[in-house]
Amino acid sequence: MGGEGTVDFREERHRLDPLDCLYVGPENPSVEFHSENLSNLAKCYLVSILVEGDIPRQLSPVMSQTVYG
């Protein structure tokens, strides 16, 4: 499913393993995706949904823990 990557927003960098999810929130005007290893590119995608209220930034590594143990 691709290699490790990072997501940059608000001058912060967050490392993501394959299948990790990161909720960013609407207050971030710019989001950048990067691969850590050019020979094993990260495969990132963006999902946009409407939410009500203020939800803090959160990392969800549950998928990678389930698949890779």
Q: Is residue 50 part of a domain?
A: yes
**Mean per-residue pLDDT, 8-34:** 84
The reported pLDDT for the residue numbered 40 is 92
Range of the domain at 26: 5-61
Residue 56 lies in a domain: yes
Residue 68 lies in a domain: no
Predicted local confidence at residue 21, as pLDDT: 84
> In the predicted model, is pLDDT for residue 35 greater than 90?
yes
For residue 45, is it within any domain?
yes
66 inside domain: no
Q: In this structure, is residue 21 part of a structural domain?
A: yes
Q: Indicate whether 67 belongs to any domain.
A: no
Integer Cα distance of 42 and 52 in angstroms: 30
**Mean pLDDT, rounded, for 48-68:** 65
Average pLDDT of the residues of the chain:
79
User: What pLDDT is recorded for position 57?
Assistant: 65
Number of domains, the chain: 1
